[in-house]
Amino acid sequence: MATEKIILYTNRRCPFARRAHATLKELGLEYEEIFIDLDKPREQWYLDLNPRGLVPTLKYGNEIITESAIVSEFLVDAYGPNHILPPPTSPQNALFRARAKWLVDTYSTKVQPLWWKIFHAPQDQLPTLAAAYVDAVEKEFEPYLADAKPFFGGSEKLTWVEIQLGSFLLYPKVFAGKDGGDLISQEQVQRLKGLKNFGPWWERLTEHPTILDVFDQEGTVKAGLQRREKALKAAEEKK
C-alpha cells in the first residue's frame, strides 16, 4: 500500500475539491491541507504546481496530480483494494467500473449543466429551468439507480458514483427556498424526493458524514449567492 506524504491544495467551497476530500475521508487517509483562495489571482508558487490554477491539486511525495476525478481515481487505485472502485482484475470488476464512470459522466454532462444554468439565470427564468433540471434527473439518471440499496450497485458503502457526485447533489437542497435564494422551489425538491430510485438514494447520500465532512453550508450559500449577484449584474451591464 502507498505510504507517501499527501498534501491537498484545496478550497472547501469548491465542489470539485470536495471530491478529493471525500475520497481521502472514505479511505481513511491522513493528509496536510493547504487553502487556496479562489477569489484572488493565484500566486506564482501555486501556478508552478498547477499551471491552470485550479483546485484540487494533490502532492503525493514529489509527484503532482491535478483534476478532481483523476486525483480521486489515483487515490482509489493507490490505496486499493477498497469499496469505492474494485480493481479491474476481472470482467465483473471492470464492468462495475465502467458502469459507475458512465453514470457519473451522464450526470455531469446531461444534468449538472442545467444546474449551472439555474445558478446563473435571472430570477424569472428559475421556475422553468428548475423544472427542466428535475426532468433531466428523472429521465437521464433515475433509471440507473434501481439497485442502489443503499448505494450504487447495491453497495453498503459509498462508491465512485457517490464520491464523485455527492458535493454537487448537495446544491439542490441548500439553494432551495428563501434561505437558498429560491434557486429551486420546494415543489421541485419534493419532486426529486418523490422519485422512486433517486429520492431515497439522494437522501442517504446528502446526509452521509463523508459527503458532509468539510461542507460549510452557510458559507457556501452566502458565497454562491454573492457570485451569482455579481455575475447577473455584469451580464446586465453588458446589455
| Residues 76, 81: Cα–Cα separation, whole Å | 8
Are residues 200 and 148 both part of a single domain? yes
User: What value does the mean pLDDT take over residues 188-204?
Assistant: 98
Q: Which helix (H) or strand (E) holds 19?
A: helix 15-27
What is the reported pLDDT for 1?
A: 59
Q: What is the CATH number of the domain that holds 148?
A: 1.20.1050.10
Total domains in the chain come to 2
Q: Please count the other Cβ atoms lying within 10 Å of the Cβ belonging to residue 221.
A: 18
The average confidence (pLDDT) of the chain is 96
Q: What is the CATH number of the domain that holds 48?
A: 3.40.30.10
User: What value does the mean pLDDT take over residues 72-83?
Assistant: 96
The confidence band for 137, taking pLDDT boundaries of 50, 70 and 90, is very high
Domain boundary among 78, 111, 128: 78
- How deeply is 200 buried, as exposed, middle or buried, from its count of CB atoms within 10 A (0-12, 13-18, 19+)? middle
| Residues 204, 138: Cα–Cα separation, whole Å | 18
Are residues 111 and 214 both part of a single domain? yes
User: What value does the mean pLDDT take over residues 57-75?
Assistant: 97
pTM above 0.85, yes or no: yes
The confidence band for 196, taking pLDDT boundaries of 50, 70 and 90, is very high
What is the residue range of 57's domain?
6-78
Are residues 96 and 63 both part of a single domain? no
C-alpha cell at 230: 455579481
Half-sphere exposure of 71 (CA within 13 A, CB side): 29
